[in-house]
Chain A
Amino acid sequence: MSGALLEVRGLTKHFGGGAHPVRAVEDVSFAIQPGEVLGLVGESGSGKSTIGRLILRLLDPTAGSVRFGGDEIATAPERKLKALRRRAQMVFQDPFASLNPRLRVRDIIGEALDAHGLARGRRTERIGELMETVGLPAAHMTRYPHEFSGGQRQRIGIARALAVEPELIVADEPVSALDVSVQAQVLNLMQDLRARFGLAMLFISHDLDVVELMCDRIAVLYLGRVMEIGPAEIVTARPRHPYTQALLAASPKADPDAPKLSRTLKGDIPSPMAPPSGCVFRTRCPYAMPACAEVVPPLRDAGDGRAYACILDSLPSRPEVA
């Protein structure tokens, strides 16, 4: 896609060498348009957090290309990465671990400004603006992180990310550590900021309801590979990949009249050190056939804006394997 803000092609990350590296990310491709929010959803070992770190070059990819605004990031030398980090920022899951406890909030946010030479001469004023943008009183900038609640700390993390006026935010499970009532506050804030600043986001989460709410498009990952990618409402309402279907059926609904959770998926997620041949999902797939072990299924265009990696042409609805 031309005009994409971020374009990822064949992205691969292996940890450790030898005969059995951990295959964290395997041949992942997607694009994010300016102002668009793409959700990455998947369970443990799906590679979703690793992808977020590769895009910001907090990790070096093993193979593949990451183009940000047309510039290649995957192989760029360290000195060129500063420009990237001005344009793309990260918000982390744990608002307790990601803020330096010895620094006042003023200096946590100020560090980001100083690193890029921003707001010289009006540093305090700008920090106050950023605090108010995320719904915190500017007067609290002299406090330390421990003086804030979990939700307020996540707001500080967001203010720090916004300090450099980025075009892209990689948000890695930004509300997973928060209580439901506080989570709602932070989700609404992120929606407001997105609308106000035209931010694009890579929104990483294991929570399908959160991803569906926040994202324009969703990529469903399993063992480092994209199983299905497409518009959020289409993927969640009419999943085409057996894994997407199973993930939706296993997600608890806050409705006692909803059908009982499906246990379609037996067993555990295989080790990323020894992923199954062919389709990585086949060992837990209720529809697996011998052919699934032969080749890695390529992403197929479903004709409705979504693509899925499965050799089956259609899925029976909601299988029940007791």
Chain B
Amino acid sequence: MTATHPEPLLAINNLEVSFRTEEGTVTPVRGVTLSVNAGETLALVGESGSGKSVTSLAVMGLLPRPAGRISGGSILFRRRAGGAIDLAQASASEVRRLRGAEIAMIFQEPMTSLNPVLTVGEQIAESVRLHRGLGQGDAMRRAREMLDLVEIPDAGRRVHDYPHQMSGGMRQRVMIALAMACDPALLIADEPTTALDVTIQAQILALIERLRREMGMGVLFITHNLGVVAEVADRVAVMYAGEVVESAPVRPLFHAPRHPYTRALLDCLPARAARGADGRRVVRSIPGTVSRVAEGCGFAPRCEFVRDSCRVGAIPLESEPDRVVRCLRWREIA
């Protein structure tokens, strides 16, 4: 962790997101509290239905409207100019101005954020013209520099390529170049390597890491892949069924997980399979699937440590130095 600052760059407090559906209102994100400091990577990890992507959409002001909305809590973002803005209360146009200028995003599928009818150079140039007021010539020069920055070989020639002329890994680099063009303070990366082969993934993760270090960005890295978490994260927040169930620095989280879900999830990894009495290696699994509960702990229906008190009321988030855990029994089972 570098560039420590008394105030976090991003502080999400008690966030709740609601969606109106035909069956009534659902809250895919409830009571989410987390923070990202300048220069650090916070990995937000969870399985399908955990609410990790909805959380990131809420931060970016990209919840699908009119169905989705922030129905509680705050998202404080520290402005470059000083002072904090609450993204949960800010107008759509205020959030749009920050997005691209101070907050940048990269996604799993670059093709959804790249324009297929513009060359990659034109797209980066357009972004820097918009955000930095550069002229056409300077903007194209900047575009070439950005392609160099993300290690695209032969940038002077590739700047004239259209997205479809590039491989998936190269397109992901272009999207990162586009995100970096305005020198953002916060990068939100939502499963940025999930569609890539592992040898290409290793390149992209190293690139994001290098840029974070050199530019002092805070990174909110959303992923389902625990191997990627161990590779990139300074701290980790684990989500399950719409709530953060545990968060801690990366080493304590992997070496001494406290929440029963974190513990069970790590045990599900094939690399942690244990050899049984018959010599076969068996992975531990978590029975059932994610389901919504009316009250109590969201993981209770699948938890091996569950007892009656876990199924009533709201489970408080307990703070320890360097760790928070949302479980009634974590101390006795540790």
Which A residues contact B (CB, under 8 angstroms)?
43-44, 149-151, 179-185, 187-188, 191, 195, 206-207, 209-210, 212-213, 246-247, 249-258, 260-263, 265-269, 284
Of A246, A251, A267, the contact of B227 (CB 8 Å cutoff): A251
Contacts of B48 in A (CB 8 A): 150, 179
Contact B281 A263 (CB under 8 A): no
Contact A184 B284 (CB under 8 A): yes
B192 beta carbon closer than 8 Å to chain A = no
Question: CA of A187 to CA of B153 in the docked complex: distance in angstroms?
Answer: 41
Interface of B is mostly: helix
Contact B167 A256 (CB under 8 A): no
- Of residues 245 to 276 in B, which have CB atoms within 8 Å of A's CB atoms? 250-251, 254-255, 264-266, 268-273
Q: Which residue of A lies closest to B264 (CB)?
A: A181
Which of A151, A251, A268 has the largest number of chain B CB atoms within 10 A? Answer: A268
Contact B265 A180 (CB under 8 A): yes
Of A43, A180, A268, the contact of B170 (CB 8 Å cutoff): A268
Q: Which residue of A lies closest to B268 (CB)?
A: A184
Question: CA of A98 to CA of B200 in the docked complex: distance in angstroms?
Answer: 29
Contact B265 A187 (CB under 8 A): no
Question: CA of A266 to CA of B197 in the docked complex: distance in angstroms?
Answer: 13
Which B residues contact A (CB, under 8 angstroms)?
47-48, 153, 167-170, 197-203, 205-206, 224-231, 233, 250-251, 254-255, 264-266, 268-273, 280-287, 289
Contact A258 B202 (CB under 8 A): no
Contact B270 A209 (CB under 8 A): yes
Question: CA of A267 to CA of B199 in the docked complex: distance in angstroms?
Answer: 9
Of B202, B206, B280, the contact of A191 (CB 8 Å cutoff): B280
Of B197, B203, B226, B254, the contact of A269 (CB 8 Å cutoff): B197
Question: CA of A266 to CA of B269 in the docked complex: distance in angstroms?
Answer: 28
20 contacts between A and B (CB under 8 A): A44-B168, A149-B289, A181-B47, A182-B285, A184-B270, A184-B285, A184-B286, A188-B283, A207-B270, A209-B269, A209-B270, A210-B270, A247-B199, A252-B198, A252-B231, A253-B227, A261-B205, A262-B202, A263-B206, A268-B170
Contact B197 A256 (CB under 8 A): no
Question: CA of A191 to CA of B280 in the docked complex: distance in angstroms?
Answer: 9
Contacts of B286 in A (CB 8 A): 181-182, 184-185
Question: CA of A104 to CA of B202 in the docked complex: distance in angstroms?
Answer: 43
Of A195, A212, A261, the contact of B270 (CB 8 Å cutoff): A212
Contacts of A253 in B (CB 8 A): 227, 230, 271
Contacts of A195 in B (CB 8 A): 280
Interface of A is mostly: loop
Q: Which residue of B lies closest to A254 (CB)?
A: B226
**Closest chain A CB from B100 CB (angstroms):** 28
Contacts of A149 in B (CB 8 A): 289
Contacts of A257 in B (CB 8 A): 251
Task: Report the 4 A-B pairs with minimum CB-CB distance, sorted nearest first.
Answer: A252-B227, A184-B285, A43-B197, A179-B47
**Closest chain A CB from B294 CB (angstroms):** 20
Assess A247 versus B270: contact at CB under 8 Å? Given A180-B47, A187-B283: no
**Closest chain B CB from A220 CB (angstroms):** 12
Question: CA of A180 to CA of B273 in the docked complex: distance in angstroms?
Answer: 13
Question: CA of A197 to CA of B254 in the docked complex: distance in angstroms?
Answer: 37
Contacts of A249 in B (CB 8 A): 202
Contact B270 A206 (CB under 8 A): no
Contacts of B268 in A (CB 8 A): 180-181, 183-184
Assess A261 versus B283: contact at CB under 8 Å? Given A184-B268, A251-B198: no
Assess A250 versus B230: contact at CB under 8 Å? Given A188-B285, A191-B280: no
Contacts of A256 in B (CB 8 A): 230, 233, 250-251, 254-255
Contacts of B281 in A (CB 8 A): 213
**Closest chain A CB from B254 CB (angstroms):** 5
Contact A265 B231 (CB under 8 A): no
Contact A255 B198 (CB under 8 A): no
Question: CA of A191 to CA of B270 in the docked complex: distance in angstroms?
Answer: 13
Assess A250 versus B198: contact at CB under 8 Å? Given A184-B268, A213-B283: yes
**Closest chain A CB from B280 CB (angstroms):** 6
Contact A43 B271 (CB under 8 A): no
Q: Which residue of B lies closest to A253 (CB)?
A: B227
Question: CA of A63 to CA of B167 in the docked complex: distance in angstroms?
Answer: 29
Of B199, B206, B251, the contact of A43 (CB 8 Å cutoff): B199
**Closest chain B CB from A271 CB (angstroms):** 9
Q: Which residue of B lies closest to A185 (CB)?
A: B285
Contact A254 B254 (CB under 8 A): yes
Assess A252 versus B206: contact at CB under 8 Å? Given A185-B285, A247-B199: no
Of B170, B199, B289, the contact of A151 (CB 8 Å cutoff): B289
Assess A252 versus B225: contact at CB under 8 Å? Given A191-B280, A247-B199: yes
Contacts of B225 in A (CB 8 A): 252
Q: Which residue of B lies closest to A149 (CB)?
A: B289
Question: CA of A207 to CA of B227 in the docked complex: distance in angstroms?
Answer: 11
**Closest chain A CB from B224 CB (angstroms):** 7
Question: CA of A134 to CA of B223 in the docked complex: distance in angstroms?
Answer: 30
Which of B169, B198, B226, B231 has the largest number of chain A CB atoms within 10 A? Answer: B198
Question: CA of A187 to CA of B170 in the docked complex: distance in angstroms?
Answer: 33
